[in-house]
Amino acid sequence: MSDPTTAGSTAGAPHSDALVIFGFTGDLASKKIFPALYAMVKAGALTVPVIGVASSKWNTDQLHRRVRDSVERESGIDDPPAFDRLISLLRYVCGDYKDPATFTALKAALGRAERPAHYLAIPPALFATVIRSLGAAGLGGNARVIVEKPFGRDLASARELDAIAHSVFPELSIFRIDHYLGKEAIMNILYFRFANSFLEPIWNRDRVASVQVTLAESFGVGQRGGFYESAGCLRDVVENHLFQIVALLAMEPPAYQSFAAVHSAKSSVFHAMQPLTPGDVVRGQYAGYREERDVAADSDVETFCALRLFIDSWRWAGVPWYLRAGKRLPNTAVEVLVQLRPPPQKLFDDARPAMGRANYLRFRLQPTSAIALAARVKRQGKEFVGDQRELYLCEDAENGETTYQRLLGDAMAGDSALFTSQDAVEAAWAVVDPVLANHYAALPYAPGTWGPGAADALIAGDGGWHNPEQNPRTEA
C-alpha cells in the first residue's frame, strides 16, 4: 500500500460528474460538509455541480448565506475566489423525500450529468426511501451512493438495507462512510503497526494483558435528542467507530499490498469477536438527559456505554478488550491504551504491579495525535528505584486534508479504500445483536464524571480505566 489514497481505487473508474447532497440543510452539512466542499474547491478537486436536496424552502440568498456562515465558522474563508467558485457550483432542490416530484426536479437539476454521486447525509430511517426513489426516477444508473453510518439498527435491518441498495446500485458503486476511517490519526494506527518490526514480537496474548479504548465527549446530545433516542451510544459510536479502531489494532498483517487485503483482515477480526452478553455491557445515562429536547420522559437510552469483549483468534485469545464511550464526561478525547504484562521476575521492588501500571503503549487520537511508550527509568543514586515515564514516539499536527474532504473526494473518484465493506458491517452487528434489546437498565451518572461506577467494576481486575487528560504530556 504505497499510497493509501490510490491503492483502493477501482481501475479505470470514471470520476463522478456531479455531487448530490441529501440533507443539505442539516447539522452535518453545516458543520462538516460545506467546509469540506470549500477545501475541495481550493485544492482543485471539485469542479462539478453540487446539488443540495432538502425540505427547507430556501431561496438562493438563504442558500449562499448558510454556506458562507458555515465555512466562516468552521474553517474561515482565506481564498475568496475559491469560495466564489464553490457558490457558482451550487444548486438547490426543495422537496419531500417521499414525493416522486422531488426526484423529477433533481433529474432536471442534474442536466447533462450522467455519473452523479448521491450522498445521503440524512437520518438512517430515510435511507431506503431515498435509494428506492433514485432507482424509480432512473437516477441510479452509472451513479454512486454514499451512505452515512449507522448501516441499519441491527443485523437484520443492515441486511435489508444492503438488499435495497443493491436493487439500485452495484456493490462497486456503494460507499459506506464511517468518517473515523478517514481520520489521519486512525490511518496512522495501520501504518505504525505494520511499518515497525519491533512491535510484532510483543503484539499478542503472551505480552499484552489488556487493551482499552475510550471515546469521551464533554458535551451532551444538544439538538440531536430525537436521533439519540433512536440510536443510543452503542449504535452511535461503539459498534462502528470503536470497533474500527479495534480491528486496526487486532488484525493480522494483510496478505498482500492492497486495501482489499486490509478489508479482509479487518472483517476477520469482527468474525472472531465473541457475541456480547448482558454481563459484558454497562449502560449509563447522564443526569438531565431526559430533559433534553425530543427525549422521552422515561427514556432508557444509554448516553454512556462500556463493554468487555474477547477476540477468539490465535493472537488474542484470552485478552480482554475494554471499550468505553459517553457524553457529558470530564473532557473530549479519544485514546487507546495497550497494557503490557509486567516482567516475569520482580527483580526490583518498585516495579511490582502494586506500584502502578506496567509498561504500556498509548495512542492519542483526539484532539491531538500522539503515540507514546511508557517505560520505567532509574532515578539517580545507589538505590534501584525509578519512575515510569512516557517516551513520545510521534506527535503530528492535523493533516491539511479534512476527513470529509478526503472521503467525498475518494467516493467521487471510485476509491473504496477508506470505506466499510458489507461483510464487516454484518459481522460487527452480529457481535452486538444479542444485547441491543436484552440488556440491563441504564444507570444514572453525574455530568462531568467518568460514567456509572459499574463501568469501573467491569475493568477492576485489569488495572482500571485510563482516563485521558486534557494535557497528555502530564500523564505517566
Domain residue spans of the chain: 18-142, 181-401+421-474
The C-alpha cell 462502528 sits at 240
Which fold is adopted by the domain 18-142? Rossmann fold (3.40.50)
Q: What is the pLDDT of residues 436-471, one digit of tens each?
A: 999 999 999 999 999 999 999 999 999 899 999 865
Residues 241, 263, 439, 466: which is the catalytic one?
241
Q: Is the pLDDT of residue 5 over 50?
A: no
d(CA 461, CA 58): 57
Distance from the first to the final alpha carbon of the chain: 35
Q: What is the pLDDT of residues 120-163, one digit of tens each?
A: 999 888 999 999 999 999 999 899 999 988 899 999 999 999 99
φ, ψ at 67 (rounded to 5°): -65, -45
pLDDT of residue 9: 45
Question: Is 18-142's fold the same as 181-401+421-474's?
Answer: no
Report residue 8's pLDDT band, with 50, 70 and 90 as the boundaries.
Answer: very low
User: What is residue 325's three-state secondary structure?
Assistant: strand
pLDDT of residue 475: 40
Q: Is the pLDDT of residue 353 over 60?
A: no
Q: Is the pLDDT of residue 290 over 60?
A: yes
Q: What is the pLDDT of residues 355-395, one digit of tens each?
A: 568 889 999 998 888 899 988 888 888 788 788 888 887 76
Q: What is the pLDDT of residues 73-88, one digit of tens each?
A: 988 999 999 999 999 9
Is 241 an active-site residue? yes
pLDDT of residue 348: 77
The C-alpha cell 452523479 sits at 116
Kindly report the number of other CB atoms within 10 A of residue 317's CB atom.
12
pLDDT of residue 183: 83
For residue 337, give the nearest of 323, 318, 355, 352 by alpha carbon: 323
pLDDT of residue 257: 78
Q: Is the pLDDT of residue 6 over 60?
A: no
pLDDT of residue 388: 82
On average, the pLDDT of the chain sits at 90
pLDDT of residue 474: 41
Q: Is the pLDDT of residue 164 over 50?
A: yes
pTM across the whole model: 0.90
For residue 273, give the nearest of 472, 72, 46, 429 by alpha carbon: 429
Which fold is adopted by the domain 181-401+421-474? Dihydrodipicolinate Reductase; domain 2 (3.30.360)
Question: DSSP code of 153?
Answer: S
